[in-house]
Amino acid sequence: AAVSTQAIGASVSELLSNQLSYWVTQVDENLEIDFDINSLSEEDLNTFQLRLSYSFLDGRLRVTRDGRILNDNADGGVGSDIVTLIGDWSVEFLLTPDGLFRIKMYSRNNLNNGNNPTLNSYFGQTTTTGVSLMHTQSFNNVNELFDFIRERRENNVEAQQAEDSVRNQSSKVDSQ
């Protein structure tokens, strides 16, 4: 029975999240809201996940906040820990209009030792930050992926042959 209650809670959470996101996009199409909550128990409210994303510059710049809203304090107070309130964040910029090339900056909060409060109070919470340069390519099936790889190899071979031909022509002119 516990599994079916969890499944129902997850389904209701997803339904509410999708409906809320739909309503918000009717007001502002650049804003996305997703949340994940299984039930209204105090324990589940402390693991309430909220993701907010906002797009700027015609969708080429996206700022995202992700993570828990409530913290682990006994009183369950909202926002008493600023790091938990801010959550994980990322800023992603599409370098090309089609989005194939992107740059992303991010910051993630990590607990060093799982959920052990004694060890976490000693070692503290760490933050991982970084920047990445990404290339994305979409495929509808595996064959398209292999065709893409084969075409790239063929193009690389042709480019190398053209470069060698130019080099050979250049060396012939230099020797005359």
pLDDT reported for residue 69: 65
Q: Give residue-wise pLDDT tens across range 49-108.
A: 778 899 999 989 999 998 776 555 544 444 446 666 677 889 999 999 998 999 999 988
Q: Is the pLDDT of residue 12 over 50?
A: yes
Do 98 and 160 lie in a common domain?
no
Residues 14 and 93 in one domain: yes
Q: Which of 81-90, 100-109, 112-121, 138-147 has the lowest mean pLDDT?
A: 112-121
Residue 40, pLDDT > 80, answer no
Give the range of the structural domain holding residue 108, as residue numbers without chain letter. Answer: 2-136
Whether residue 122 is predicted with pLDDT greater than 60 in this model: the reply is: no
User: Does 128 share its domain with 42?
Assistant: yes
pLDDT recorded at residue 100? 92
Same domain, yes or no: 122 and 158: no
Query: pLDDT tier at 111 (50, 70, 90 boundaries)?
Result: low
pLDDT of residue 77: 44
**Which carries the bigger pLDDT value, residue 93 or residue 167?**
93
Q: H/E element holding 31?
A: strand 31-36
**Domain shared by 71 and 147, yes or no:** no
Q: Judge if pTM exceeds 0.85.
A: no
Indicate whether 132 and 145 sit together in one domain: no
Residues 94 and 155 in one domain: no
Smallest CA-to-CA distance from 25 within 49, 51, 54, 67 is with 54
Q: Is-contact 112 143, C-beta < 8 A?
A: no
SS3 132: strand
The count of structural domains within the chain is: 2
Angstrom CA distances, 80 to 3, 50, 73, 103, 125, stand at 33, 17, 8, 32, 15
Summarize the confidence of residues 128-142 as an average pLDDT. Answer: 88
Q: Are residues 32 and 110 in the same domain?
A: yes
